[in-house]
Amino acid sequence: MSATLILVLLVSIFVMLFISAKPAMQAYGWHFLVDSSWGKTVEVTSSKPVMQPIATSPDNSDADSNLFADEETPILPISDQSIDPTNQMSPTITKTIYGGFVPIVGTILSTLIAMAFAMPIAMGIAIFLSEIAPKFLIKPVGLAIELLAAIPSIIYGMWGLFYFAPIVQKIFGGYQISILTAGLVLGIMILPFMAAITRDAMNTTPSVLKESAYSLGATKFEVVKDIIFPYAKVGIIGSIILSLGRALGETMAVAFLIGSVFKVPNSLTSPTISIPVVLANNFGEASGDMMSALFYLAFILFVFSFIIIGIAKFYFLRRHR
């Protein structure tokens, strides 16, 4: 019953996003994925024919009510109207275009940086707490790791902005507000989830398996690599999937640190923007095409997250079962 409700909820979210994003899909198509413009006003040639008003002449001065040409007054094509200096109707119209390439790249890069930073540290913490740490350290260190997960994301953003960003700039150069700073703080945010779930998964390994390996002369490294990791792989992959989902959708901390600039970063220390930040910054004032473009971005993020988590769930876990 509960699984059915969750499925209905997912389908309803998908349908809502698709319907709201459909005008932007029809207007921009797949080009939206590779277009780096956002809110750019351009002049385009109208595809609809523009009716030319009748030129006033002495012989026809009393025909003010005739707004359009008759058979004796041919209608000039659109290209000719733009050349005719007496023509008062322009064949071109202005249009605001939106593209999602910059926020898509920003989302992917910040997530990759966060995962690359968090995974080895989280695995190390989990191994330390489950196999290496003395008993008097396991509980306080484990509690401290779990408390990191309880800190609101806006606190991480403020801490990163005022204290962590200057350190990153001093070490790596570039700007304080950059995709690297956002990715590293994002990695710190997902680290407690990954470490806690991985530790719990490792603790489920039966002691008899580990003691048998030690009795055969295996080292601690070999026991972790050949016994604990294979036994707890489902829980470890699950922790990575959950952390990945949070990294893709994190908003507040990233909004403080990524720079909110619609520009493809030319280095890791350059500012850019991500999909959640675009939605958070613009949704309250958006309308018309912009609102539909924002829903298009949200739809892309939803599908992207669903595909990644689906691949991890049905490929990696089934493969190792």
Q: Output the six-digit token pair for 131.
A: 């196999």
pLDDT tens digits along 243-282 = 888 888 888 888 889 888 888 888 899 999 999 999 988 8
Which percentage of the chain shows pLDDT scores above 90? 21
Show the DSSP H helices in the chain as ranges: 2-28, 78-83, 101-127, 135-148, 153-159, 165-172, 179-203, 207-215, 220-223, 229-231, 233-249, 252-257, 275-282, 288-311, 317-320
Query: For residue 296, what pLDDT is reported?
Result: 92
Q: What are the beta bridge partners of residue 40?
A: 97
160, exposed or middle or buried, with CB in 10 Å at 0-12, 13-18, 19+? buried
Average pLDDT for 193-212: 88
Residues 111, 112, 118, CA angle at the centre, nearest 5°? 85
Q: Output the six-digit token pair for 309.
A: 């988590």
Within 10 Å of residue 64's Cβ, how many Cβ atoms? Answer: 9
Q: What is the mean pLDDT of the chain?
A: 81
Query: For residue 282, what pLDDT is reported?
Result: 87
